[in-house]
Structure 1
Amino acid sequence: MRSKYRLGVDAGGTFTDFVLAEKTGDVRVFKSPSTPHDGTIAIKAGLAQISEALGESVESIIQQCDLCINGTTVALNALIEQKGAKVGLLCTAGHEDSIEIRLGHKEEGYRYDADFPPAHMIVPRYLRRPIPGRVLVDGSEHTPLDEAAVREAVRYFKEEGVESVAISFVWAVRNPDHERRAREIVQEMMPGVFVCTGTEVDPQVREYTRTSTTVVNAYLSPVMRRYVERIDDYFRSLGVRHPVRYFQSNGGLAIGEAMQGRAVNAINSGPASAPQAGLYVAKPFDIDNVITVDMGGTSFDITLTKGGQTNLNKNIDFLRYRIGVPMIQVETLGAGGGSICQVDEYGMLQVGPESAGATPGPVCYGKGGTRPTVTDANLVLGYLNPKAVLGGSIRLDAEAALEAVREHVAEPLGISVERAAYGISTIVNLNMVSGIRRVSIERGYDPRDFALVCAGGAAGMHITALAEEIGSNTVLVPKVASVFCAFGQIISDVRYNYMATEPMRLDGTANLDTLNTRFDDLEQRGTQHLQADGFAPEDISASRSAEMRYVGQIHECSVDIAGGVITQDRITTILADFHKRHEELYTYAEPHNPVELVNIETTLVGQVSKPPVRKLTPSGCTLNDALTETRPMLFDGEGHWVDTPVYAGERLDPGISVEGPAVVEEPTTNIVVRPGWTLVLEPNNCYRITREG
């Protein structure tokens, strides 16, 4: 680290998390209630806590930071709540309804549901304006752009109070001249209005995906711009020495200037940093296959990293909108500590997705909640200390939790309270396991080959049960689990993705000179961007991928490609990798069929120095010194209560083994060690929990 501190700020829906890493290797954790209307208020409150803890002024702390990093749900919340800008769309005449036709099918799982409602249109029909003019697949101009039609559309947008303009023309990825000219006209007639084009936002083949992505970007960018300007202005007022970085959905950092015009890259900003943090805590154990699970109060987020590479999604339906830009694959479920448990009209126990949230919260919080939650069930099972005081103010009410489970679950099902509570825990675990299988088995990965990394305040009580269900024998629980995404931000690199469309058959007719030139152009552009951002050439790396398909297919699969000049001999290797990946994804390959290239992509990374890890040293305490009490807990559905030791994590020395069943209590989470598992605190401030395979 070049300076004394590094600050990570993760603005969630309920809390804003702060991680301050010191040059010594110490890591401090803070939390402040989020303020969605103005993120600087929550940041000010959190920085005030940090200032008090360190005995330094806020200005002094910020001026000693080499990086201040912000992850935010601003773009995501605007999309969920439909509070983006009023958008107008300029599109090729005849294609006004492509974002509504949506390739003629509904989302997966609803394809045959006649009653499933259509998605809300960000751009209503009357604001989609057809523009005559046509470019062909080879990039030649078939019909000139009708500039008069563009000007007429812009005048209409002004009358309708449009705040943002999206431009997407057919085959503009082969020749962007029409889009560029239309953009010039919009900027001339509507100065100050945000405008973006498909070839800038998502330059790939697939007209619907490109248009949808551009529309979403136009919808969110004005919101993101206002947020970034507020945050940047605030940190500048504190004397920050380096530009604030913002976390992107692709798992990397970017400066605010880049994020203001590419808000679509920030949709999954929060959970996208979890995989990097998972790899970081797993590295000392020589583990590079990790599944990171983050269980908070409302949701359960899952990411998978294989061989040090995290799954990326592209061209997916996200909140019912097609998004084409790369995003860390995050599987999100309505399964958190606040998930409400109830018996439906068919007599079936349901857990989630409805949540009690922070207000009123679980019944045991005593804040007005009346329906039992997963947290209430964990309290009944003994996993939580009934005398605990959460956040310094919430005293748990075990009796209220037990009565809620009895009234709403046990009595309707005609079973005991303990069986009802264990049933709640089992169902939420199975829901979470289903999500884990979607990011692993359904993508060709065996979850037994992965370690589970635990994140979030509620995950520790379920993590060994989840590992048993998926067959994993190793669980890692870092001490910073409750602020894991903020921690992931401070150890992440700057990352930019550049894409181009280059359709060609990969056979003897392939134009390799053109292909090599396009890759070189993308990498040169990215390198210049990073050098302007202050990175030295030795700190910049590039990786390549190509989207290919069998001739006649409509979907591509992405294959990694090594750097360097692409020769005909290397094409043979690339084709072999494509056949292998196709078989992994779809269980078959067709090596005898011709293959065509569709899109190419380069990822440029500016490598950021990582904060050091402070090694724990034994203090001479024994296991008994960490024992705080023994209380009955339930680990099966048959009512076999077990007197289980409870240990204070702050008093555990590294290297001491804790045999399950046991519970380790940390200030922000509890770790349940089920029978058959062994927990050890490792010197890198991470608990490793294992069982014999």
Structure 2
Amino acid sequence: MSYRLGVDAGGTFTDFVLADDQGQVHLFKATSTPEDGTQAIAAGLAQISEKLGRPVADILADTTLCVNGTTVALNALIQHKGVKTGLICTAGHEDSLEIRLGHKEEGYRYDADYPPARQLVERHLRLPVRERVLADGSIRTPLNEDDVRAACETFRREGVQAVAVSLLWSVANGQHERRVTELVRELLPEVYVSSGLEVFPQMREYTRTSTAVVNAYLGPVLKAYVDRIDQFYRDQGVRVPVRYFQSNGGMAARDVMVSRAVNAINSGPASAPRAGAWVCEPLGLANYITVDMGGTSFDITLTHQGRTNISKDIDFLRYRIGSPMIQVETLGAGGGSIAWIDALGVLNVGPQSAGAQPGPACYQRGGTLPTVTDANVVLGYLNPTHLLGGRLEIDASAAADAITREVAQPLGISLERAAHGMYSIVNNSMVNGIRRVSIERGYDPRDFALIGAGGATGLHLTALAQEIGCRTVLVPKLASGLCAFGQLLSDIRYNRMAATPMRLDERADLAGLEQRFTELEADAVQALESEGLARKDIHVQRSMDMRYVGQVHECTVDLGDLRISADTLGEIRQRFNDLHRQLFTYDEPDSLIEIVNIEATVSGRTGAVQPGQIAAGGQAQSARSGERDMVFAGDGSRTRTPVYDGQRLGAGDLLDGPVVIEEPTTTIVVQPGWRVRLHASGTYVITRQDA
């Protein structure tokens, strides 16, 4: 027996999915331990060992793929717990990080009191070197290496742990930046070094510098985590290289992840689209929105016609990042989100979270503030005595006391209305997030299936679909660990980028452009082959950042494996025009187009996971395990609602809402007016009763 193990460390729970070569897929959850991730992994492995009746060492010895998603880099950036960082830049550009191209985030553009972003590099540690490369790659001012040596001496004296290097127009001629990087590594061998030319070798000096700084700031933190995880797995018996999940939706080797720490920022939710594709394939669906509600956050991704949106050159947590990332909309709306009343007497929910410690009041771990999970207990949606198949005891009275004390009494309303108010407010926040990834980007959510991931999502999903207009809701049995499962389905993925400014006119060097693509692809293919992948398992996909001449921002155009030549130039132009029209409602077919950057995404396939099918049902009523009073209306009125044991339902079983289905690690609430059918693939398909 051989296994694949996916581990997704979230803010509240760490999810484990183990798939064997016989089609069995097992899901486990352990409480996250942010102070030391190996403790949560050890707890999850103990559950796996108990379930399989085999020692942990034997299971791990038979594991052919071990992949980890982590929030370590994300949490370090959120909490500003990176390392002391220095920056070496071209003289005169020390303040580009603070100038930020004069940009203010959406919603705060005209707010004079909105504070500036906290700088990851203090002003006295942004040190200049005299040099100048021009836009055409020619050298105007040679590099002054004494400036580099002086900067390194300052960094040593100040106790700097990481250094970012980013010089003006290094993408046109990287000679100076490579030499600076070489000197820093020679003079400060113990310091983590991040070169903009290595991390993000594309146009836009501010984006490149910011990306290099974020990478440096997080690099030592991620390296310490990866070293600890790698050693833990080796000690436990893993024989294969441990892989880590990246924000671009693919896996990476340890050394790649350490050198590209910025790629780990959105590691967890980035695997959701791949898992969503697996859920939709048996149902023949290509348009879907994944929503993942865990204990701390709510993550949303959109996939249209099988392609998931990729973001580059975006502000993430107020820091500009250029590296490709799966486009994830993240909200502070999880099961642990805390309800509070502001100075105007208005009820709010989140973004503050009770997290894993102390957790919701009902968890009995010291939490006293009311959370969304507590509201779901009061509404009757969650089992009032236990969760996670009985492994987590809860106290319904503690949930009721917290909501009564902090919400119901101050507002002068009933307990039920207070709980439903909390539920409605967090739902409204999530619906607004779904609108941002769909309607605001030109997509009609009615054309998409809504896929539930995360342990808490099933409690809210039909209410969200009702509000946003989605006609089909999908909740796989693996929902609470869907991102961990998505990791097992994903490829190893490396991005290779270059700045190639070129106008697509009669003077365009198309042969040179094709040659540059070929060089980038060869480099990535060689990296994958060195990791043991066969050439037949390696897939290459091209894209270009393009714009009309005179525009400030560009669009990323997917080229697939299209070769660059005079014969394909017309198709390339048409693809750009079509994308521009989709994004901005118009195009300019007669205007001159220019290329800014190119990118090759090279993926190495690791094989498929083929889980077994659910046995046919036919006796749905035999799975009924009880009933509870539940609240579905804002007036707080209760409805007697049947509860079903999901493990006893079979393929084809059909239930009309309102109904609750309890799985070991998730609960699904089917609101009135909806019906649910269990598909043989293990996915609950929920549709409107009048559809």
Shorter-normalised TM range:
over 0.9
Q: Aligned partners of 1:143 and 1:501: how far apart in 2?
A: 22
After alignment, is 654-663 or 362-371 more displaced?
362-371
CA 1:151–1:395 in 2, change beyond 3 Å: closer, same or farther?
Answer: closer
Partner residue of 1:439 out of 437, 440, 448: 437
Q: 2:459 aligns with which of 454, 458, 461?
A: 461
Give SS of 1:624's match.
helix
Aligned residue for 1:631, secondary structure, equals strand
- Could you say which residue in structure 2 is the equivalent of 1:624? 621
Matched, 1:653 2:650: yes
Distance 1:400 1:65 in 2: 42
The offset of 1:189, in angstroms, is 1.4
**Within-5 A mapping of 1:83-232:** 83-232=81-230
The answer on whether the counterparts of 1:621 and 1:651 sit within 8 Å (CA) in structure 2 is no
Q: 353-362 or 490-499: which moved more?
A: 353-362
- Whether the aligned pair in 1 keeps the contact of 2:549 and 2:592 (CA below 8 Å) is yes
What is the deviation of 1:430?
Answer: 1.1
Are the counterparts in 1 of residues 511 and 565 from structure 2 also a CA contact under 8 Å?
A: no
Distance 1:608 1:351 in 2: 41
CA distance in 2, matches of 1:406, 1:222: 45
**Which residue is equivalent to 2:556?**
558
Shift of 1:393: 5.9
State the match for 1:72 in structure 2.
Answer: 70
Select 2:238's aligned residue among 237, 240, 250. 240
Is residue 408–residue 418 contact of structure 2 (8 Å, CA) maintained in 1? Answer: yes
TM-superposed CA distance for 1:342, in Å, is 2.9
Q: 1:432 to 1:236 in 2, by over 3 A?
A: same
> Cα–Cα, structure 1 residues 58 and 595, in superposed 2: closer, same or farther, change >3 Å?
same
- Structure 1 CA distance, aligned partners of 2:600 and 2:304? 20
Match of 1:643 in 2: 640
CA deviation profile, 1:649-688 (whole Å, cap 9, x unmatched): 1111111101111111112221111122111111112111
TM-score, normalised via structure 2 length: 0.96
Q: Output the amino acid matched with 1:653.
A: G
Change (3 A) 1:342 1:192: closer
Q: Aligned-pair distance for 1:539?
A: 0.7
Cα distance between partner residues in 1 of 2:47 and 2:643:
30
Q: CA deviation at 1:559?
A: 0.8
- In 2 relative to 1, CA 202–665 (structure 1 residues): closer, same or farther, beyond 3 Å? same
Counterpart of 2:574 in structure 1 is 576
Aligned twin of 2:11: 13
Give the CA deviation at 1:352: 1.6
Q: Does the 8 Å CA contact 2:452/2:461 hold for their aligned counterparts? A: yes
Structure 2 match to 1:523 = 521
Amino acid at match of 2:659: A
SS at match of 1:568: coil
CA distance, structure 1, for counterparts of residue 410 and residue 225 of structure 2: 48
Following superposition, the deviation at residue 407 of structure 1 comes to 4.0
Q: Please tell me whether the aligned partners of residues 541 and 600 of structure 2 are also in contact (alpha carbons under 8 angstroms).
A: yes
CA distance in 2 between counterparts of 1:220 and 1:101 reads 22
> Could you give the per-residue CA deviations for residues 617-667 of structure 1, whole angstroms, max 9, x where no partner exists?
13x661221111222222222455322111111111111101111111112
Q: Distance in 2 between matches of 1:231 and 1:368?
A: 29
Give the C-alpha shift of residue 45 in structure 1. 2.8
User: Does the 8 Å CA contact 1:166/1:218 hold for their aligned counterparts?
Assistant: yes
Cα distance in 2 between the residues matched to 1:127 and 1:278: 44
8 Å contact kept, 1:89–1:127 = yes
Pairs within 5 Å for 1:265-664: 265-388=263-386, 392=390, 394-618=392-616, 622-664=619-661
Distance 1:105 1:368, change over 3 A: same
Q: Give 3-state SS (helix, strand or coil) of 2:348's partner.
A: strand
Task: Say which SS state the counterpart of residue 600 (structure 1) adopts.
Answer: strand
Change (3 A) 1:32 1:501: same
The alpha-carbon deviation at position 411 of structure 1 amounts to 4.0
Instruction: Show the counterpart of 1:255.
Output: 253
Q: Contact 1:505–1:596 (CA<8 Å) still a contact in 2?
A: yes
Q: Which deviations, in whole Å up to 9, do the C-alpha atoms of 1:558-603 show, x marking residues without a partner?
A: 1111424322342222222212212222222222322211001110
Q: CA offsets, 1:325-345, max 9 Å, x none? A: 011111111111222223322
Aligned-partner SS, 1:372: coil
Q: What residue is the counterpart of 1:34 in the other structure? A: 32
Q: Distance in 2 between matches of 1:590 and 1:479?
A: 47
Matched position secondary structure for 1:628: strand
State the AA in 1 paired with 2:13: F
Amino acid at match of 2:684: Y
1:38-49 aligned at under 5 Å gives the runs 38-49=36-47
Secondary structure of 1:9's aligned partner: strand
> CA separation in 2, counterparts of 1:92 and 1:254?
32
Change (3 A) 1:656 1:493: same
Distance 2:186 2:339 in 1: 56
| Range that drifts further, 309-318 or 588-597 | 588-597
Q: CA deviation at 1:151?
A: 1.4
Q: Which amino acid aligns with 1:630?
A: E
Q: CA deviation at 1:48?
A: 2.5
1:491 deviation in Å?
Answer: 1.0
Give the letter aligned to residue 592 of structure 2.
P
Letter in 1 for 2:223: R
Residue identity in the other structure for 2:242: V
Q: Deviations for 1:261-288, whole angstroms, at most 9, x for unmatched residues?
A: 1101111111111111111111110112
Are residues 235 and 383 of structure 1, via their aligned partners in 2, closer, same or farther at CA, if it must alter by over 3 Å? closer
SS at match of 2:641: strand
Amino acid at match of 1:676: G
Work out the number of aligned pairs and report it.
690
Q: 5+ residue gaps in structure 1? A: none
| Structure 2 SS opposite 1:581 | helix
Code of the aligned partner of 2:674: W
Do 2:388 and 2:666's aligned partners in 1 also have CA atoms closer than 8 Å? no
Within the candidate set 657, 663, 668, 1:671 is matched to 668
Instruction: Write the letter of the residue equivalent to 2:510.
Output: L
- Identical counterparts, % of pairs: 61
Give the whole-Å Cα distance in 1 for the aligned partners of 2:130 and 2:398.
Answer: 67
Q: Is the 8 A contact 2:313 2:321 kept in 1?
A: yes
- C-alpha distance in structure 1 between counterparts of 2:579 and 2:224, whole Å: 42
For 1:25, the equivalent position in structure 2 comes to 23
**1:394, distance to aligned residue in structure 2 (A):** 4.7
Distance 1:628 1:448 in 2: 34
Name the SS of the counterpart of 1:288 in structure 2.
Answer: coil
Q: Which amino acid aligns with 1:137?
A: A
1:170 CA drift (Å): 0.6
